[in-house]
Chains A and B, each alone.
Chain A
């Protein structure tokens, strides 16, 4: 037996990391450092633009998790943006809570609202779920228009006493030597950056976890997922509630920045769902990178073309239709296939190593 050739053994490992993803993680750390330091040297206009970019990116990640992974195509996420916004106004104005704490609370309360909402809309499947969520968002809008303490149908503004006394504002004023409104923007900017990164991290870790495996299975085939023991309804409910909480927090942040709320704006299907769907579809649905890329494309279009009004929206609609028909994986799908790029390693690959 001693002179017999040793049997070739194969070693199997499951890997998710790729060379591009390692480089991306290094680049991402650098990028975050630059973004954190940005208020020290960027103009106020640019800071305000970046706040918009961050919250749209975070909303896009949430919608992508729902529609791209859990198969829950919602046209009603404006329900939770508006809910978060109104909760911020109620908590700061009526309950006199610091806005930053109110953002976190708005997320928790949105999750509580999401549970009974899910019980109703989950009775509808597929495309009917989509319109059902829209009806629910309309109900939220009409109900919040009834609260006279929150401005009723016309809305209300946050008094300066609240917006100017956000935690840490004095510290920023002395640190950067800027006015009160500018330092308020800087705090909002950091919170928006934090929320965007946290949302991204949350989606990433969900997809890397057991829940993510279940989601991938559901995305590929609901029946097959069920047959290998995935509790589809539980997984979907979990994702719905998590995204509602995050969307509520983003909504609270958006309306801290805007400092003025009305039912029509807060529950706008165009601003908080149509644009978000556009971002995800153009960027590439069902990937983490797609919504990020889509947000950048959308920001550039919004900046350069929004002046065209109705024509701009017609262009957006036509572009979304064209992408859905001719490149359903979006911009990122095209790039990653062409250059074999993976920045967020969530796909599990089997690596076989032959050794003698």
Chain B
């Protein structure tokens, strides 16, 4: 019985990481209906930025992440302003294919710069620290911090969305772009701010990705799929739904791995497909489409 309880607890904690992957994707889709196929590669890119800053400045990963945040915000703003804004319109293909091309460029650019070797963000004692719940179940401090950060990130995103003037602009654009423009909203700039915000979430996700396990330039697409599954399981348009989706995905994976270690990823995908068949709009839908 305890192994299942353990799998459940570890799954919930893993779900925090997946919710962090998904929150940025959810934010961007909610505001501009853009599905970013390079999202996973951006998370890996951010992990390499943290790694490089930590090595250059001699910082621990947490401090390096704080140093990376403004850089990544500007990078996200610039990417949206200079490239992605040009792709948005009625046609579905340009944003999809441009972000797909971007995904290939980022992955191979990282391969060229950092080689295919596995890397890791070393944070010292916190990596292995844990809290004993009973003689057989213990909770790692780092996974707990991941889940806590995911909850904090989603809390802040909700606050921005529903309590600030920036959030009002986000919601206006999401509801009706043309009317929002008539009201004087500078939508290319708002989109760019949203992407900058997305990059901040991506950087936080990258910190915990890099501390949890090894990473290399090729793992981006896998992270995109987890993020996407968490968003769809949770239901479009709801940040708390995305958190729930991440946790369900995490639990499905750890329970699957408990049955057969080879089934971890497959179990997550199967849970996603099951939700898609039974509740195509996700478990906690908010948006109309």
Residues on the A chain within 8 Å of B225, using CB: 131, 134-135, 138
From A120, A134, A281, contact of B276 by CB (8 A)? A120
B182 contacts partner chain A, Cβ-Cβ < 8 Å: no
> Chain A contacts of B86 at CB under 8 A?
325
Q: Which of A149-166 contact B (CB under 8 A)?
A: none
**What is the chain B residue whose CB lies nearest that of A326?**
B86
Q: Is B129 in contact with chain A by the CB < 8 A criterion?
A: no
Q: Is the CB of A321 within 8 A of B101?
A: yes
State the Cβ distance, A295 to closest chain B Cβ, in Å. Answer: 18
- Chain B, interface residues (CB within 8 Å), range: 35 or more
Contacts A73-B92, A139-B273 hold; do A130 and B35 have CB atoms under 8 A apart?
yes
Tell me which of A187-195, A245-253, A307-315, A336-344 binds B.
Answer: A307-315
Q: B228 in the interface, Cβ–Cβ < 8 Å?
A: yes
Contacts of B112 in A (CB 8 A): 310-311, 314
Q: Once the chains bind, are A318 and B97 in contact (CB under 8 Å)? A: no
User: Min CB distance, B112 to chain A, in Å?
Assistant: 4
Name the one of A75, A136, A139, A310 contacting B37, with C-beta atoms under 8 angstroms: A75
**Residues of the B chain whose Cβ atoms lie less than 8 Å from the Cβ of A120:** 273, 276-277
The A-B contact count (CB < 8 A) is 117
Q: Are B37 and A130 in contact (CB under 8 A)?
A: yes
B92, B100, B224, B280: the one within 8 Å of A123 (CB): B280
B105 at the interface (CB under 8 A from A): yes
A277 CB to closest chain B CB (Å) equals 7
Contact A317 B105 (CB under 8 A): yes
Given contacts A310-B111, A314-B109, contact A146 B262 (CB under 8 A): yes
Q: Would you call B35 and A128 a contact (CB within 8 A)?
A: yes
A325 in contact with B94 given A120-B276, A123-B277, A277-B100 (CB within 8 Å): yes
A328 vs B276: C-alpha distance in the bound complex, in angstroms? Answer: 33
Q: Is B170 an interface residue (CB 8 A)?
A: no
Chain A CB within 8 A of B172 CB: no
Residue A274, interface by CB 8 Å = yes
Q: Is the CB of B98 within 8 A of A325?
A: yes
Whole-angstrom distance between the Cβ of B195 and the nearest chain A Cβ: 16
Type the 1/0 row for A261-292, where 1 means its CB is closer than 8 Å to any CB of B.
00000000110001001000100010000000
Determine whether A182 belongs to the interface, using a CB cutoff of 8 Å to chain B: no
**Could you say which residues of chain B place their CB within 8 Å of the CB of A134?**
221, 225
* Chain A residues numbered 299-356 whose CB sits less than 8 Å from any CB in chain B: 310-311, 313-314, 316-318, 320-321, 324-325, 328
**B111 touching A325, Cβ below 8 Å:** no
Contact status of A139 and B87, CB under 8 A, knowing A73-B93, A317-B104: no
Which chain A residues border B111 with CB–CB below 8 Å?
Answer: 310
Residue contacts A-B, CB under 8 angstroms, 13 given? A120-B277, A123-B276, A124-B280, A125-B289, A128-B228, A128-B232, A130-B35, A314-B109, A314-B112, A317-B105, A318-B105, A321-B101, A325-B94
Chain B interface (Cβ < 8 Å from any Cβ of A): 33-35, 37, 83, 86-87, 91-98, 100-105, 107-109, 111-112, 221, 224-225, 228-229, 232, 262, 265-266, 269-270, 272-273, 276-277, 280, 289
Q: Which are the 4 A-B pairs with shortest beta-carbon distances?
A: A127-B35, A317-B104, A310-B108, A317-B105
